[in-house]
Chain A
């Protein structure tokens, strides 16, 4: 089972040039409680090549959303950047096995 099979949508976007933020819209309270419990912060950190303690995590029951913010793997627009808006990183999380 992948994250995307359990949720409405996974979205990512820069939060300024130095951060990317990933929103998992679960859609229902049931999906939220499943995903919130099964998604491990350290697995998400590994997925994005960062350290667990640098990941900010917000489990927002009112919105049925799990949100992760991580320092961008590379600064927006630097020579190594491959995705100026950071919107494609969402798919890594969407395709992660739960």
Chain B
């Protein structure tokens, strides 16, 4: 049975072309699926359990998709709701949905699929030998797991299918794999498994698999031997090259893609142009394996305060490295004597913007910059300590002289106060999979009626 999936864009809040969306809806899709996040932006979202996108932007795009859903009369699903897919961000997305349902006069059945994991569940899996590290994985311990602010498991097609089985109009899923929300319905209807996962991977970034990546909207037709992909914007063409090259993107292995119940192998895939706009793909294989879900976890690794000074004085620009090395030695002594803090109780680092701030020790080029930005980063066990160190170093970052016999220099501070308290520094602390006997054993579903 052919299953038509409409993917409005690679992620909610990235924008999509309205006319292209309307064209997609007119093709009578069986489901509308969009991603809501990933780890792309770093550990903050997961650590704090917050969306990285503005609520207003989320609501305005979701409004368009809820209207498209009403017109199409099919389910609408978002995966990894609220960037990180924690229970808190699923509920945040649910609140937005309920508000919109009332505003639009839609009466809806909304399913929420929760992916957050209590630490004790993961600890039990570890004790039972069901927690497996993926290289390179951080060390884990029961204590370390309990200290994580959020742990999520990536749901696969099975959990999304359970959500679809509730008959929901809208499904708000917590953390899912990028592909699961797209592959779930074709798999449920018996379409080709290799084609379902491969097509889902091609479509998960929206029109990124076409010649006009920012146009967003993609439609994929899945069937019993493969899939056909087409972009909805006039100027967006899917070509065998644009489609096959998408397997390179953000994948460490472009031929094998791991999912909860096995892996996709695209080495045998054949990409054929049906015409100038559409590509047909067949020959991808699905290889079943032990059912395991990938975990993501984040913990607080300290609290930070930053300071930024700009050197324009040519003498200091030319000797910036020597200057920060001398300054750092001086400041460590000051911090030890005035605050009684040992060097291993905090972090103090200066990065030279204009010299090597992006690549650090890997940088192998040198230039002659006009100015150098000096980004000071303080990391400490509490925000109060980081802020106190920031205040202590502030006058020296402003005035520290390269030599003893010169007049005190004054560098450029771009703002006042010169220091910025950044709050918690989160870090990713898991790169593991957890084996499950039943796919739903680590996930929860609730169904709520909303709107009028």
Binding site for B on A (CB under 8 A): 13-19, 21, 23, 47-49, 56, 58, 60, 62-63, 65, 67, 69, 71, 73, 75-85, 88-89, 92, 95
Across the interface, which residues of A come within 8 angstroms of B134, CB to CB?
18
22 intermolecular pairs with C-beta atoms under 8 Å apart: A16-B39, A16-B250, A16-B252, A16-B431, A17-B39, A18-B137, A19-B252, A21-B251, A23-B248, A60-B248, A73-B362, A75-B138, A77-B427, A78-B427, A79-B301, A79-B302, A79-B379, A81-B42, A82-B358, A83-B358, A84-B42, A85-B41
CB pair A62 B39 closer than 8 Å = no
CB distance from B406 to the nearest CB of A (A): 31
CB pair A21 B42 closer than 8 Å = no
Interface of B is mostly: loop
Known: A69-B253, A92-B359. A76 touches B428 (CB 8 A): yes
Across the interface, which residues of B come within 8 angstroms of A47, CB to CB?
362
Interface presence of B55 (CB below 8 A): no
Bound-state CA distance A94–B250 (Å) is 18
CB pair B254 A58 closer than 8 Å = yes
CB pair A82 B428 closer than 8 Å = no
Tell me which of B138, B249, B365, B379 contacts A13 (CB under 8 A): B249
19 additional A-B pairs beyond A13-B250, A15-B250, A84-B41, beta carbons within 8 Å, are: A14-B39, A16-B39, A21-B251, A47-B362, A58-B253, A58-B255, A60-B254, A62-B244, A63-B248, A65-B248, A73-B362, A79-B379, A79-B425, A79-B427, A82-B351, A82-B360, A83-B359, A88-B358, A89-B362
Bound-state CA distance A60–B251 (Å) is 14
Closest-by-CB residue of A relative to B428 is A17
Which residues, 355 to 388 on B, are CB-close (under 8 Å) to A? Answer: 357-362, 364-365, 377, 379
CB distance from B307 to the nearest CB of A (A): 16
Interface presence of B94 (CB below 8 A): no
CB pair B362 A76 closer than 8 Å = no
Bound-state CA distance A88–B41 (Å) is 15
Known: A58-B255, A71-B135, A76-B43. A89 touches B248 (CB 8 A): no
Binding site for A on B (CB under 8 A): 39-44, 134-138, 241, 244-245, 248-255, 301-302, 347, 351, 357-362, 364-365, 377, 379, 425-428, 431
Across the interface, which residues of B come within 8 angstroms of A82, CB to CB?
351, 357-360
Across the interface, which residues of B come within 8 angstroms of A84, CB to CB?
41-42
Ranked nearest first, the 8 interchain pairs of A and B with the lowest CB-CB distance are A77-B42, A69-B252, A15-B252, A77-B43, A17-B428, A19-B252, A88-B358, A84-B42
Across the interface, which residues of A come within 8 angstroms of B379, CB to CB?
79
CB distance from B84 to the nearest CB of A (A): 12
Tell me which of B241, B245, B362 contacts A48 (CB under 8 A): B362
CB distance from B224 to the nearest CB of A (A): 25
Residue with the highest number of chain B CB atoms closer than 10 Å, among A17, A23, A89: A17
Closest-by-CB residue of A relative to B248 is A23
CB pair A79 B347 closer than 8 Å = yes
Across the interface, which residues of A come within 8 angstroms of B358, CB to CB?
82-83, 88
Known: A63-B245, A82-B357, A82-B360. A75 touches B427 (CB 8 A): yes
Across the interface, which residues of A come within 8 angstroms of B241, CB to CB?
63
Bound-state CA distance A54–B94 (Å) is 43
Tell me which of B40, B347, B360 contacts A85 (CB under 8 A): B40
Across the interface, which residues of B come within 8 angstroms of A21, CB to CB?
248, 250-252
Residue with the highest number of chain A CB atoms closer than 10 Å, among B134, B248, B364: B248
Residue with the highest number of chain B CB atoms closer than 10 Å, among A13, A79, A80: A79
CB pair A78 B301 closer than 8 Å = yes
CB pair A15 B251 closer than 8 Å = yes
Bound-state CA distance A83–B360 (Å) is 10
